[in-house]
């Protein structure tokens, strides 16, 4: 029987990935992009034309392979898919020595 460990909320951090927070943000953004593409019944080729990305890169992103795609490009993709992006910067709680990045969808 194997041991089961409770996640800390970020699978990338749980796996020891050095850029865990960035990867989690990208995962949330990619999931939303995928959701919109499915909702609009777009083919990957149609999405590729809208997003200005090669179809292979769209395919990779939708399969969770987004290391070669910047957060800025993913935000641009959401804009191109008709979504507004709002970035809020606020002071971190006293209990944290550094800030934290998260994605919230309205």
DSSP letter at 69 equals S
Q: Which residues of the chain have pLDDT under 50?
A: none
Q: Is the overall model pTM greater than 0.85, yes or no?
A: no
Tokens of 97: 């020595």
Q: Which residue has the tokens 């709002």?
A: 86
Q: For domain 12-80, which CATH number applies: 1.10.150.120, 1.10.260.40, 3.30.590.10, 2.60.120.380? A: 1.10.260.40
Where do the structural domains in the chain lie, given as residue ranges? 12-80
**Closest to 23 measured CA to CA, from 84, 70, 83:** 70
């Amino acid at each position: 029987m194997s041991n089961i460990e409770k996640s800390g909320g970020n699978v990338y951090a749980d796996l020891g990935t050095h850029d865990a927070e960035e990867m989690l943000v990208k995962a949330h953004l990619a999931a939303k992009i995928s959701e919109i593409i499915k909702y609009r019944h777009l083919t990957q080729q149609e999405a590729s034309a809208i997003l200005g990305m090669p179809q292979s890169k769209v395919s990779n992103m939708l399969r969770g392979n987004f290391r070669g795609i910047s957060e800025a490009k993913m935000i641009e993709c959401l804009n191109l898919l008709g979504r507004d992006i709002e970035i809020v910067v606020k002071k971190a709680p006293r209990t944290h020595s550094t800030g934290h990045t998260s994605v919230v969808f309205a």
